[in-house]
Amino acid sequence: METITVKAQSAEREEKMKYCFGVDVGGTTVKLGIFNTNGDLLEKWEIPTVTEDNGKQILPDVAASILDKMKERDILREEVEGVGIGAPGPIDSEGTVYGAVNLGWGTFSVKNELQSLLNIRVEAGNDANVAALGEMWKGGGQGYDNLVAVTLGTGVGGGIIVEGKILAGANGAGGEIGHIHVEDKEVEPCNCGNCGCLEQYTSATGVVRLTKRRLQSSDMPSILRDRDITAKDVWDAVKAGDPLAVQVAEEFGQYLGKTLASIAGVVNPEIFVIGGGVSKAGSVLLDYIQKNYIKYVFRGSRGALFALATLGNDAGIYGAAKLVLE
């Protein structure tokens, strides 16, 4: 009997060994999550991002919040596998950030700095790349380990997962697909300074821009005329069969489908996972992307699947947690 009791205690201890934290640093808030190592999110919370003084306070705040949570839950350092963190800037596979404008950060090792604050193992990655890892692990790309995630939000972000790992690139700029050049005729500059980036046509603002141009250049009747419009309005109009909106959807699908075909020519993924605000339009969006993708893609990648992201704003904390579980 005694042996059995000892075993049970040891098993319980073993059970307790398995926590990890996922941290997603944004421009205004930091999202944090505590997970067990099966990938169950046990609790999530947020703290404000203090960007003053070149974002000097961000990592100490993150560390303090994690240590508080460990105290609150009576978790020992030895019971934590690690802390993963994603942030909006180029971060290489070693955890070095090469400047993060929105946070005020320059170049330094996020991994080493947070690690020395916590005395717990840390891994770091770019936020879009980390979100891609999250969607692979527990989201729309579950079951696949060669994946391209596309985030259609205010901008267009991307994350490439190759054999289960983030493709961070030489200096953390891997998966920066929003700034792939897609249109020679563009005259308005993108935020990045170039002209004709994918982001200018397929982000939320890009979709509105395509619509306004079309409203101006044609007199086709449309429920989108003479009002303020959002990307959601445009996709609602597509679903309602509005002919001008359908033209916009075609144009959107062509830009994005063609670009994803090019990306497939490089990385040959099993699946594309489409997320971000624009993706709330649902499967109609995938139809427009996929039919254009098929037109342009090389046969080796013709079978790639298309899915919607499912984790929403939690993709970042999931992916960050996964960083330390690889």
Q: Which is nearer to a second copy, 55 or 269 (CB)?
A: 269
Least gap, CB of 134 to a second copy (angstroms): 20
**Smallest separation, CB 162 to a second copy (Å):** 6
The residues with which 46 forms a beta bridge, in sequence order, are 31
Minimum distance from CB of 247 to a second copy (Å)?
17
Q: Which residues bind a second copy (CB under 8 A)?
A: 90, 93, 98, 146, 158, 160, 162-163, 167-177, 179-181, 192-194, 197, 258-259, 261-270, 296, 298-301, 303-304
Residues 6+ apart with CB under 8 A from 217: none
Cα–Cα dist 261/293, whole Å:
5
DSSP 306: E
The least CB distance from residue 237 to a second copy, in Å, is: 26
For residues 200 and 39, give the distance between their C-alpha atoms in angstroms, rounded to a whole number: 36
Q: Based on CB atoms, which residue is closest to a second copy, 169 or 312?
A: 169
Query: 274 exposed, middle or buried (CB, 10 Å; 0-12, 13-18, 19+)?
Result: buried
Report the residue count for the chain. 326
Pairing between strand 29-36 and 19-25?
Answer: antiparallel
Nearer to a second copy by C-beta: 117 or 289?
289
Nearest distance in Å: CB 169, a second copy: 3
Torsion angle, CA of 100/103/107/110, rounded to 10 degrees? -110
What gap in Å lies between CA 69 and CA 88, rounded to an integer? Answer: 24
The number of beta carbons lying within 10 Å of the beta carbon of residue 270 is 16
Q: How far is the CB of 218 from a second copy (least distance, A)?
A: 21
* Closer by beta carbon to a second copy, 162 or else 246: 162
> Cα torsion for 293, 295, 301, 307, to the nearest 10°?
30
Shorter beta-carbon distance to a second copy: residue 37 or 262: 262
* Rounded-to-integer distance, Cα 115 and Cα 108, Å: 13
In the complex, the smallest distance separating the C-beta of residue 182 from a second copy, rounded to whole angstroms, is 9
What residues contact 56, with CB distance under 8 A and at least 6 apart?
none
User: Position of tokens 């959601």?
Assistant: 232
Q: Which is nearer to a second copy, 33 or 253 (CB)?
A: 253
Q: How far is the CB of 93 from a second copy (least distance, A)?
A: 7
Which residue lies nearer to a second copy by CB, 37 or 146? 146
132 vs 237, beta carbon nearer a second copy:
132
Burial 117-127 (b: 16+ CB within 10 A, else e): bbebebbbbbb
Contact 234, 208 (CB under 8 A): yes
Q: Write out the two tokens for 220.
A: 């086709």
